[in-house]
């Protein structure tokens, strides 16, 4: 008896360990399949050898077929922080790491504008993310090189007349940081360089475009830079800089000492206070740049088409309008040729169509319907009320959506049966006044289109300021705003000043990271894309597809539970196939998460596509089993004929009838006795 119990215990332990242990050979098999079939057009389960199918038949304790198992998927985001400068002590890395780990917790990926197919609309995906941090001190050679370059430039450049900060080209520091970053290849994390070199001979900040500022051209100096590769650097000694809304509004980066970027420009701080400010800065970069909110969910499409519809007042403006379409196209195609924007076999193409405003009555109607006005007061000799006009983008979008066929007929837009087509409507109006969308924007992105407007006016004063100077908007130059809007509508990339907050249940605005290499915001002057936009473009597509797989699998599990569980719904052979498919599906989802954490987006796409075959098979299996269960007729055996009760009833009835028929004879003798 004891030996039998020991044998049973050993059997259960062995079975549990074999089910929980990774399946040997499965990873190499799927890797081989990815080389043979990179588009995952074939179902890998069909060619799976029996030696691998058998281990998949056991229930997995690590990945049970439950919704909670799917909702526990978590994407790890690796970040390496480099502390550059001799002012950092040997204890700084451990202290900064503890501050960041205590401040940053795992959270779900958020969506600013979700699709309204679900009710109520949810602003998050079913996938969470977490920070994997490594902090280290950089070699003194890097800080010495940066310090020498800065001192040389500041000593040879004259002090500015109209500004309090000397302008330093960002490339001066960036080339040194990039050289150190190149040594880290292959890159498996995002590198953040925090530079603290102490005080310099004069206050300075970094310029991001060549040329000097003028009265009509404001160049916003900053202290951060995001590279095309996966690194960014922050110079704590630059500034203090300030930029944001000039009069009122959210997201301003103040000049005071309370913002982390201005930590070194106020009163002296202890090491712990300084490192806590840096932890806040890293957390902000993580939230806004490294795991940004999705602007919209983006389903995967093989063909991506951008249609420029240029609506202009005259034929001359159509051919020679000063609008550089090729610059916009080149901005994206350079990244495509660099394998930095598309996934797998995706393709991107651009088309341009010209429409004369005089020949497009619906265009004139749309502009007239969207034109509205607002009032503002300015102090000249006395307070003066000024009425200004602007275009309501939502009303303009509504008119175009309702008359899309008419716009397509006038512009001669071809019908596309496959792929994702994004129409970019640019209204080039023959008016001399400034006319913006929603008072502030040159271009506005929607889920299904982009709308932009420009007039004959060359520039206007915006409601933003940078380093004490009013920011001028170059109204005729809409290439950079169009690049940002296309990123939002085609790939769901959020602007670098917007993030969804579930605690506020609204979008928060923060312009800290809106300078430098970004096509978003009023302070940047570059149209080029950094790793932030390129990674977000590909990651958003994968996250949307992965979220669909998770929610679809949860629907299947809920359907099984509604039918009484898999043991009641599925037959024995169906249960085996279900477990095999489920374990393989769950294994592939883990591979998707691992590939995303290593920035291998193409491999993540392969495993996503391959898992779709397993998910479809699970759906089919459960569907056919439920149909058989609902259509089957449960036949009950007829009960035996109740001879005893019927005989007794018949006997009683017969006796009563007999007594009734013989009543006179039976009761006659009784009468004679009395």
The predicted pLDDT at position 111 comes to 95
- If one counts every other C-beta atom within 10 angstroms of the C-beta of residue 340, the result is 18
The predicted pLDDT at position 9 comes to 37
The predicted pLDDT at position 316 comes to 52
The predicted pLDDT at position 507 comes to 93
The predicted pLDDT at position 383 comes to 63
Q: Is the pLDDT confidence value at 628 over 70?
A: yes
Q: What are the DSSP E strand ranges found in 326-429?
A: 347-356, 371-379, 383-391, 420-428
The predicted pLDDT at position 19 comes to 36
Separation between Cα atoms, residue 598 and residue 287, nearest integer Å: 18
413-420 contact pairs (CB < 8 A, 24+)? 413/307, 413/309, 413/353, 416/303, 416/305, 418/301, 418/302, 418/303, 419/301, 419/302, 419/303, 419/304, 419/305, 420/299, 420/301, 420/303, 420/304, 420/305, 420/490
Q: Is the pLDDT confidence value at 669 over 60?
A: no
Q: What is the pLDDT of residues 239-248, one digit of tens each?
A: 888 898 887 7
Separation between Cα atoms, residue 331 and residue 319, nearest integer Å: 21
Q: What is the pLDDT of residues 572-606, one digit of tens each?
A: 888 899 999 999 999 999 999 999 999 999 999 99
Q: What is the pLDDT of residues 48-101, one digit of tens each?
A: 998 888 888 888 888 888 999 999 999 999 999 999 998 899 999 999 999 998
Mean pLDDT calculated for residue range 510-527: 92
The predicted pLDDT at position 571 comes to 84
Ranges 385-394, 496-505, 636-645, most confident = 496-505
Peptide bond into 120 cis (omega under 30): yes
Mean pLDDT calculated for residue range 277-284: 92
The predicted pLDDT at position 80 comes to 96
**Higher pLDDT pick, 4 / 29:** 29
The confidence band for 317, taking pLDDT boundaries of 50, 70 and 90, is low
Instruction: Yes or no: say if 526 and 551 are a contact pair by the CB < 8 Å rule.
Output: no
Q: Is the pLDDT confidence value at 445 over 70?
A: yes
Q: How far is CA 29 from CA 34, 35, 49, 52, in A?
A: 9, 10, 9, 9
Instruction: Yes or no: say if 60 and 586 are a contact pair by the CB < 8 Å rule.
Output: yes
Instruction: Yes or no: say if 390 and 374 are a contact pair by the CB < 8 Å rule.
Output: yes
Q: Is the pLDDT confidence value at 7 over 50?
A: no
Residue matched to tokens 């098979």: 617
Residues found in the chain: 674
Separation between Cα atoms, residue 578 and residue 526, nearest integer Å: 53
Mean pLDDT calculated for residue range 365-393: 80
Q: Are strands 506-509 and 498-501 parallel, antiparallel or unpaired?
A: antiparallel
Q: What is the pLDDT of residues 22-42, one digit of tens each?
A: 677 899 999 999 999 999 999
Separation between Cα atoms, residue 470 and residue 478, nearest integer Å: 19
Q: What is the pLDDT of residues 248-276, one digit of tens each?
A: 777 777 766 667 776 666 677 788 888 99
Instruction: Yes or no: say if 88 and 138 are a contact pair by the CB < 8 Å rule.
Output: no
Q: Are strands 243-245 and 459-466 parallel, antiparallel or unpaired?
A: antiparallel
Instruction: Yes or no: say if 569 and 577 are a contact pair by the CB < 8 Å rule.
Output: no
Instruction: Yes or no: say if 331 and 447 are a contact pair by the CB < 8 Å rule.
Output: no
Separation between Cα atoms, residue 82 and residue 244, nearest integer Å: 28
């Amino acid at each position: 008896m004891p030996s039998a119990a020991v044998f049973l215990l050993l059997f259960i332990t062995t079975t549990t360990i074999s089910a929980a242990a990774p399946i040997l050979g499965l990873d190499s098999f799927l890797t081989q399949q990815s080389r043979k079939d990179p588009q995952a057009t074939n179902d890998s389960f069909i060619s799976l050898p029996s030696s691998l199918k058998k281990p998949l038949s056991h229930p997995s304790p690590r990945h049970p077929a439950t919704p909670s198992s799917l909702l526990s998927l978590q994407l790890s985001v690796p970040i390496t922080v480099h502390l550059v400068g001799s002012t950092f002590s040997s204890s700084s890395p451990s202290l900064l790491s503890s501050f960041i780990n205590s401040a940053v917790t795992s959270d779900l990926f958020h969506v600013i504008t979700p699709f309204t197919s679900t009710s109520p609309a949810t602003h998050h995906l079913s996938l969470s993310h977490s920070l994997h941090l490594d902090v280290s001190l950089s070699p003194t050679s890097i800080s010495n090189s940066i310090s020498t370059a800065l001192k040389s430039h500041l000593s040879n450049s004259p002090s500015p007349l109209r500004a309090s900060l000397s302008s330093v080209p960002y490339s001066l520091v960036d080339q040194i940081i990039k050289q150190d970053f190149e040594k880290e290849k292959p890159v498996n994390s995002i590198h953040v360089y925090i530079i603290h070199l102490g005080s310099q001979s004069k206050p300075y900040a970094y310029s991001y475009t060549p040329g000097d500022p003028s009265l009509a051209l404001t160049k916003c100096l900053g202290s951060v830079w995001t590279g095309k590769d996966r690194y960014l650097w922050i110079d704590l000694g630059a500034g203090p800089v300030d930029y944001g809304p000039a009069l009122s509004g959210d997201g301003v980066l103040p000049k005071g000492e309370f913002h982390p970027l201005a930590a070194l420009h106020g009163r002296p701080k202890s090491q712990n206070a300084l490192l806590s400010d840096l932890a806040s800065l890293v957390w902000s970069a993580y939230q806004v740049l490294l795991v940004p909110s999705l602007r919209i969910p983006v389903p995967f499409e093989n063909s991506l088409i951008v249609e420029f519809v240029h609506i202009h007042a005259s034929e001359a403006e159509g051919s020679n309008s000063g609008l550089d379409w090729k610059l916009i196209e080149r901005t994206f195609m350079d990244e495509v040729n660099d394998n930095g924007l598309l996934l797998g076999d995706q393709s991107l193409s651009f088309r341009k169509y010209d429409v004369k405003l005089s020949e497009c009555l619906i265009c004139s109607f749309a502009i007239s319907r969207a034109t509205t006005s607002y009032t503002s007061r300015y102090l000249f000799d006395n307070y003066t009320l000024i009425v200004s006009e602007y275009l309501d983008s939502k009303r303009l979008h509504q008119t175009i959506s309702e008359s899309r066929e008419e716009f397509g007929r006038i512009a001669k837009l071809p019908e596309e049966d496959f792929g994702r087509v994004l129409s970019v409507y640019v209204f080039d109006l023959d008016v001399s006044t400034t006319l913006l969308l929603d008072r502030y924007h040159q271009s506005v992105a929607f889920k299904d289109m982009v709308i932009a407007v420009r007039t004959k006016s060359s520039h206007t004063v915006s409601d933003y300021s940078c380093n004490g100077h009013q920011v001028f908007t170059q109204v005729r130059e809409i290439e950079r705003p169009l690049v940002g809007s296309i990123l939002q509508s085609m790939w769901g990339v959020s602007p670098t000043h917007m993030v969804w907050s579930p605690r506020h249940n609204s979008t928060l605005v923060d312009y800290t990271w809106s300078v430098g290499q970004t096509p978003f915001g009023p302070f940047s002057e570059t149209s080029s894309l950094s790793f932030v936009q390129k990674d977000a473009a590909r990651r958003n597509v994968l996250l949307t597809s992965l979220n669909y797989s998770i929610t679809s699998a949860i629907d299947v599990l809920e359907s099984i539970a509604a039918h009484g569980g898999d043991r009641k719904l599925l037959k024995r052979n169906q249960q085996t196939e279900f477990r095999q498919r489920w374990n393989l599906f769950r294994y592939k989802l883990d591979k998707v998460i691992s590939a995303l954490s290593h920035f291998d987006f193409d491999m993540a796409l392969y495993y996503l596509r391959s898992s779709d075959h397993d998910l479809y098979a699970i759906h089919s299996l459960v569907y056919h089993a439920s149909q058989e269960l609902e259509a089957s007729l449960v036949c009950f055996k007829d009960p035996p004929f109740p001879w005893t009760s019927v005989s007794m009833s018949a006997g009683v009835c017969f006796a009563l009838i007999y007594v009734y028929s013989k009543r006179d004879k039976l009761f006659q003798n009784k009468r004679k006795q009395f």
